[in-house]
Amino acid sequence: MTTQTPSTQDVQKSPHVTADDYARLYAASVNDPDTFWAEHGQRIDWIKPFTKVKNTSFTPGNIDIRWFEDGALNVSANCIDRHLAERGNQTAIIWEPDDPTKEDAQHITYADLHRSVSKMANVLKDLGVARGDRVIIYLPMIPEAAYAMLACTRIGAIHSIVFAGFSPDALGARINGCDAKVVITADYAPRGGRETPLKSNTDTALLHCKEGLKCLVVKRTGGQTTWTDRDYDCNALMAEASDDCPPQEMNAEDPLFILYTSGSTGQPKGVVHTTGGYLVYAAMTHEIVFDYHEGDVFWCTADVGWVTGHSYIVYGPLANGATTIMFEGVPTFPDAGRFWEVCAKHKVNQFYTAPTAIRALMGAGKEWVEKHDLSDLRVLGSVGEPINPEAWNWYNEVVGKGNCPIVDTFWQTETGGHMLTPLPGATKLKPGAAQQPFFGVHPVVLEPTSGEVVEGNGVEGVLCIADSWPGQMRTVWGDHERFEKTYFGDYKGYYFSGDGCRRDEDGDYWITGRVDDVINVSGHRMGTAEVESALVAHAKVAESAVVGYPHDVKGQGIYAYVTLMNGEEPSDALRKELEVWVRTEIGPIAKPDLIQWAPGLPKTRSGKIMRRILRKIAEDDFGALGDTSTLADPSVVDDLIANRMNRA
């Protein structure tokens, strides 16, 4: 069903793109990408202009993606220096602390940002960080996180941010995975009134990392930490450091950052984005999709530990000279009005959040929203998972008062920026649909088994992309073969998103969710394989299979089937122990919501776990189990159904 709301053209004063523009520009962008992107490549400053635009191949065995390949630029100069003359005194970053009853917001101007980033860049240089070196950033949502990102880009170092909610083990794996030279962390990370001991987590992680790594520690709370020879006091060093650090000239295809993300198999992979194409794409999508205009205050509630924070808190907004909000807290602390209080306080014009947050706040009641003046809001955004129509309608009516178009942006860590999204002022909105491709994006629907292109409208299949766009990831860090196999292995000649989709009668796209073993918990991506390998690492666990199930607030919850070692007895205490175990192995976001003791798992005769069946049981949909005759032991299914966990 496709409920239509009125066109949003009336409510946008002067949108960057109208419906007519969209049709014309989109056609131009896919028919002649070289001309289109040559023009839009000019939205950033180049130290050395590019003469080549697109040089990309999706040919099996030769996946090679280059954009603007002979151009040279510096990202921090684009995000800071080039704005100084015109808007040095304009606020670049508004920082909102976790607890507004204890601390005030901070306003950081472009001139302040220039000073702090240059200082931090000099500190990194003094620690021996050079162009091409990797720096891990494991910080709370504080201004120093943005300084650290931009300081790396200033000197050509490659950053890799690890979300502060990840455990020491997960941090250690990422430090080793990219062979980092320095870790930037803080004493503690306050969030929702609680504190995560980041420094102590880092100390634990470093026990399993090579000698000689240095740790730069930012003071956030001033709480107690241990101190060793490899630790450096960031605040003290920055106070002393020079604020003059000329930006390093970088090639467009030099790596900008690595961001680890979950896939359907194995451990998380290091997604690599490069300098020129990524910045052009982040800046352009930020401007067009949110209909950003000069002077607007933009708020993306994500964490910089995720790609959304990279592209739409830091790089996109700052490249456009915007005022961007960095929020340290959570939607429900000190109370369920926090988002709206911050929107009103800073007169936010564009607000971008995840469906899971909307659902949680919807549950808290609309009185929390109505207390605050949201009249400056113009555009609302959604990201991370499909948004259900109830949440969409609430967002539209209660938050947007029916006046703010909702851009439901479908994209991925791998895509660098938005792929499918409505545009404010140009698109007739449909609640729950990601609708139409952004410029330069060529989506195709494939039949999942044959891989044939499904033409026409009113069709369903897997979502692939037929040609490259500038924000596309270039490789998996240290493993180009894995890149080829993961994204180009199943459907030759296409980038495979891992998502299913429907193209409706009007040609609009609807994302139907992952078709691989990736689950989406509160908008966070998780490989079921990662949770399984954490569980089986416990001495009492013989085997485990993890699937997602529908969860009212989180979108999907984590359902774990666990087979214990011979002689081990199931108990509530053991269940608790396993929950804590997974939290420490991966982090709180990976904690199973439900653990079912499974004497056996449904397997084919060749020993492959039939996840389809486990998913159905977890979804409480076991009337539709399908063919179980190929199972080695069909009777295990009855036991699993009889002992399924209550989802209420």
Under the rule (CB under 6 A), what is the footprint of ligand 6R9? 261, 306-308, 382-386, 408-413, 434, 497-499, 511, 514, 520, 525
Q: Which residue has the tokens 């003290």?
A: 236
**Residue closest to 175 by CA, chosen among 140, 220, 207:** 207
Q: Residue 271 CB, nearest distance to ligand 6R9 (Å)? A: 8
Question: Based on CB atoms, which residue is closest to ligand 6R9, 319 or 406?
Answer: 406
Cβ(347)–Cβ(297) below 8 Å: yes
Cα-based distances in Å from 423 to 137, 152, 284, 404: 33, 33, 12, 12
Question: Based on CB atoms, which residue is closest to ligand 6R9, 87 or 286?
Answer: 286
Q: Residue 355 CB, nearest distance to ligand 6R9 (Å)? A: 8
Question: Based on CB atoms, which residue is closest to ligand 6R9, 117 or 464?
Answer: 464
* Helices (H), ranges, 455-571: 480-488, 528-536
151-165 burial, b at 16+ Cβ within 10 Å, e below that, comes to bbbbbbbbbbbbbbb
Question: Based on CB atoms, which residue is closest to ligand 6R9, 344 or 515?
Answer: 515
Cα-based distances in Å from 185 to 188, 211, 345, 349: 9, 18, 29, 32
Q: Residue 499 CB, nearest distance to ligand 6R9 (Å)? A: 5
Q: Residue 414 CB, nearest distance to ligand 6R9 (Å)? A: 7
Question: Based on CB atoms, which residue is closest to ligand 6R9, 155 or 162?
Answer: 162
* Nearest-angstrom CA–CA distance, 511 and 165: 28
Question: Based on CB atoms, which residue is closest to ligand 6R9, 321 or 500?
Answer: 500
Q: Residue 417 CB, nearest distance to ligand 6R9 (Å)? A: 9
Q: Residue 597 CB, nearest distance to ligand 6R9 (Å)? A: 30
Measured at CB, which residue is nearest to ligand 6R9?
Answer: 413
* Nearest-angstrom CA–CA distance, 142 and 127: 22
**Residue closest to 594 by CA, chosen among 540, 564, 556:** 556
Give CA angle at 346 (345, 350), nearest 5°.
125
Q: Residue 116 CB, nearest distance to ligand 6R9 (Å)? A: 27
Cβ(237)–Cβ(126) below 8 Å: yes
Structure tokens at 57: 């191949």
* Nearest-angstrom CA–CA distance, 164 and 587: 9
Helix, strand and coil percent figures for the chain, each rounded to 5: 35, 25, 40
Question: Based on CB atoms, which residue is closest to ligand 6R9, 69 or 408?
Answer: 408
Q: Residue 643 CB, nearest distance to ligand 6R9 (Å)? A: 30
Question: Based on CB atoms, which residue is closest to ligand 6R9, 78 or 308?
Answer: 308
